[in-house]
Amino acid sequence: MTKQVQLFIDGEFIDSTTEQWIPVTNPATQDVIAQAPCTTSEEMARAIASAKQAFQSWKEVPVSERARLMMRFGNLLKEHQTDIAEIICQELGKTLEDAKGDVWRGIEVVEQAANIPSLMMGETVENVARSIDTYSYIQPLGVCAGITPFNFPAMIPLWMFPMAIACGNTFILKPSEQDPMTVNRIAELFAEAGAPKGVLQVVHGAKEQVDTILHHPDIKAISFVGSVNVGQYIYKTGTDNLKRVQAFAGAKNHMVVMPDANKQQVINALVGASVGAAGQRCMAISVAVFVGAAQDWIPEVAEAIGKVHPGVYTDPNAAYGPQISPQAKARVLSLIEQGKKEGATCLVDGSDCQVKDYPKGNWIGPTVFSDVTPEMTIYKEEIFGPVLCTSSVDTLEDAIALVNDSPYGNGTSIFTASGAAARKYQHEIEVGQVGINIPIPVPLPFFSFTGWKGSFYGDQHAYGKQAVRFYTETKTITARWFNDDIPVSGPNMSINLR
């Protein structure tokens, strides 16, 4: 019998009573490995009610105890990093090392959550007026929620609920229906770490369950990572319902290559940053912009990328895995064909990729286009596959203008030996995360993940100090104490200090 994914409600894993189930498939074989439930409205209500009730006691738990919970949780994640990674491999298809990295980047956020006492400190000013002091506290919001995508089933949930819960909130997590088992394992470890019942709830499903989260009055804040259209819907609907929302959406990340860069470093960086994780990451480099004489390197870049190949996670030579679904594969293939029709030069074509012994896998080989212009569909749309577009410009100013004209602003990078060029680029570029001789500039969690423009809707970003601000409210107190009677000693003795 196919495994049925359970819900995690009120501190217990339970079987859903739903009649609607979503198949979870291994994308390398198309075998159905589990069935994910579409959580019923009654189960959703129970989860939210449990989180609301748990908040009343959890918010009173000392911040140092909340930090120690995160320490224990982080240690358990480290102990079980490989077995969590293997679940990712089975339901998403990542290579084992990539999956272990997925888990580790989440662990780093949990370590940041363990630092919550210093992050929750308020501010104070003495004598704002005569004998009057003002000080602020940071307090939790209540029930928060997270809606996460398929491509990082460990890291992105761990971006959200550890920081929210460490701040004193409770949390409803709705992971992707395409790979829900990873989150269930993480929730199991969170309970093992000593999390009280109701602090974390895990529900599964699709749009109906998301809409419940967006409209329910007891949910105060929503974190989302996913596609542009869904991100816009989440942000508009959530804010229309007077909720705090952070929505991380699409991307089209450029890497600018200057002619003074180290060619081999450029080639090595582009191989991993463009097709790694099958291109299924919002920080992938999908456009390489070669400046001046650097455009002569494009054939060598294409040759190097063409040498890598996808495969199953048990293959140590596989550079990346399959697309998440046949539908995702069909979409990427259609964009490759569109690129050819619109006049881009296909230097490496992975459309007919096959992997031995896995004929049903959602495989796409590495693909490289040259002569790509901003009017082309493959330039404008986020392909989310192992496809690199390359363009050529004459000057750094042209490259900056090209990048700034993009509606997205998730990440970008420049490869150069010139400090002046790097300084100009980082200053003038309208993108939230910039790498200098680093292809994928994802910050460590003591900073924040800071996409701009159409890549993010909201005000406060993920993890780091901004996450604490997102998951809390500031309360400011102005206090005056009169000196009429200050006890000196004994129950009936006082001195008048006026």
Active-site amino acid positions: 282
Helix (H, G, I), strand (E, B) or coil at 322: coil
Residue 227: closest CA among 158, 327, 143: 327
52 near 170, Cβ under 8 Å? Answer: yes
H or E element, residue 415: strand 412-415
Interior angle at CA 60, CA 55 and CA 66, nearest 5: 90
Measure the CA–CA gap between 163 and 155, rounded to whole angstroms.
13
Q: Which residues are 473's β-sheet partners? A: 139
Return phi, psi of residue 33, to 5°. Answer: -105, -10
**What does residue 142 show for φ and ψ, rounded to 5 degrees?**
140, -130
| C-alpha–C-alpha distance, residues 318 and 447, integer Å | 32
DSSP conformation letters of 190-254: HHHTTPPTTSEEE---SHHHHHHHHH-TTEEEEEEES-HHHHHHHHHHHHHTT-EEEEE----EE
Say if residues 175 and 202 touch (Cβ distance below 8 Å): yes
Residue type, 434: V
